[in-house]
Structures are given as C-alpha cells and as structure tokens.
Structure 1
C-alpha cells in the first residue's frame, strides 16, 4: 500500500468515528509512519484519534503531535482538576486505597505511587483522562516486582500461545533487570503487536515493556 492510499484510509476512518471531530486534525504519511497534527477539545479525543489510526491496516508507527485545546476561555483550575482526579481514583475499586498520588500543572496530570499490577496503573490513568480541563496524563506509577524472571517469561510465552491474534513463534521474549521485558520479532498486523504487548503487561511484576516488534 502506498502512502497516499494509506493517508486516505486514515482520513476515512477518522471521519467514520462518531466520538471525534476530525475537522481540525492533520494527517501526513511517509513510509507507513503517520504524523498527526492539529487540535482537539479533550485529552480523551486525542487518545481516541491515536486508537483509530492504530487500527488502520498498513500503519507502522505514529508521531502524535495533536494539541489539546479545551473549549472556551474558562479553563478548569488545576486545584479543581486535582480534586476531581483524587475523587475519581478513589471511586475506582480496582485501584488500592491511597496507592496513587496526583499532581496537576497547567492541565497536565502526573500520577505517582506504587501498585501491584499493570491493570491498576492503567485504571488510574483511565480514571482521570476524561476529566474536564485535562490536557495530558503522565503515568509514573510504579509496579512492585514480586515474581522471578523465569516465571515472568513463562507466563508471557504461555499467554502468547493462548492468544488467537498472535503467532507466538514469531515473538521473542527477553526478561531484563528490574521487571523490564523486551519483545522482538515480526508480526503481520498492528493488532498482533498490541496483543503481544498486552500479554507482557499481564505478567506480575512487569513495569516496563520495550516493544521492538516490527509490523509488516
């Protein structure tokens, strides 16, 4: 697929997605790498745009340069965003009590603390991403390490074998120091790459995934 065809497919997919307004989004493609520019009114829409582009066949990578510009001039104050973020995290039953701390500066929310699992870290970010006034989320929550490297490697490889979307033999799993995982290999679609990454994150103690899987 050439770049101009891929660009048109992306534009069509963005127009097809009802939850976003694609009028102010720019799309450029070079060798399968997509650069997104322009602006959207919420951080949630920015993430949705990225998800939409990821699912288009032929996309090899994304450079995300979209700005978040909230509607109107009366932006939500940082202290109000922080209060809502703390409440939203507190209401989420999958996040341990008092495990996550919140800092807000000019609409950017920074999350810190320690949790047991990756899904809890993701849940904290998801709890604040849709709040009014949020322009970005820096998720710096750490994951406690409590499993051996062998156990982590086996769990990931077993998860890859169970997943219908991935070809487990095409993916190499390396366990590095400090709960880091490196994935290497080649898959046919972006969805396979994502499934492999999710399998890695599902293992206990993993707090960083270096995804070097190529798509093509």
Structure 2
C-alpha cells in the first residue's frame, strides 16, 4: 500500500477544516526537506490561521513558508493602504511615543514606498503590510499588528517588530493584548466581554447588542499576533 505523502496529508487536514472552505479557496502546496510552502487566497484571517495550524500539526512538517493571503474586504492600492495604516498608528495614544511622524510624512510631501514612524517601520507591497523596527513590549507589537489588519484592503500583515528588551510570551500576554484591542474597537463594548487563553486559543465570553458586534469581537481576537484559534461564546442580547 502506497504511503501518503506529506503534501497529501496536509491537504486532507486542511480540507477537514470547514472555515478554510478548500473547494472554493484552493491552496497550492510544495514540500522540500521538511519545509512546506503554502500559497493561495482565503476568505478571512481565521481561515488563514486555521489552515496554518492544521498544516503544522502534520508529522514531518518542520517549517512553513506562509504565502497565504486574505481576500480584501475592499480593493485598495498600496499607497492608500499605507496611508490608512500610518494614520491608525499615529492616532493611537498607546503608540504615539513610538509612532511620531518624520518630516517625509508632513502634509503635501509625497510618501516613499517605505516610511518610518518613530521606531516603527512600515511598508506595503501588493496589499501585504510589513511592520519592522523596535517596540518596548509585546502588547505594543500586537496592537500595531491588529490596527494594520483593520484596514479593509490589507491581504496580510508581516509583523516583524522586535521587542526590546525581550519579554517572555504566554497565554496571559495574549489575553491582555486581546482585551486591549477590543477596548480600542469602536464597534465593541469591551466592558461586557471576557477573554481567556489556553495554548494560544482565545475564548471570548459575555454579551453584546448585535451580531455585528459579536463578529467584530471575534475578528479582533484573530487579528492579534500569536493567536492560533478563537472560540466565540459571546451571546447576542438586543
């Protein structure tokens, strides 16, 4: 009996996850020397993260090259995406000490392809936002990445921000970051929500006023760097 190849095993694992919707969002796989490359466009960030998690669980996959992208909610050019991400970073009080605009960002001055906001670097290529530079905590790193995901034209966020000095990451750090992002979202009343995390899987609980708010809260959790799964137990009470 022929043994199943690692790409075939990955394909079966990913296809078994309904949120990936593999029939309508095919993923191209290649595998060499323990390295799996995944390419394709998925419906949302949840589908992307679940596909990566399922692939990583297959024995023999030592590393994943992530070229999965998310279908944008709205078509936007790179310059427009960059402007929106820049403004969100500059307007966020938690990040303002880090994201001070340089002279090249003054009104009327054309933007370079790469811009520097204090200690945070920002660039956009084909809808993929890349953040690099230095931040003082994991909370800052995660908040900056989540804000970038809020821009509707974004297809992926590569969060390369370095935390200096380094911090130990754990489930508590993830929960704190999710709470922070929920508090920043104008669509969500975070005071009515509970957040807990176990092995990078976030559980949301509490009460919201409508389905839009419930979905926004779940999406906020998925947007946080390091979150591998979200269980949404939020109730809707109009």
Normalization by structure 1: what TM-score? Answer: 0.48
Question: Would you tell me which structure has more helix in proportion to its own residues?
Answer: 1
Larger relative contact order, structure 1 or 2 (CA cutoff 8 Å, min sep 6): 1
Normalization by structure 2: what TM-score? Answer: 0.45
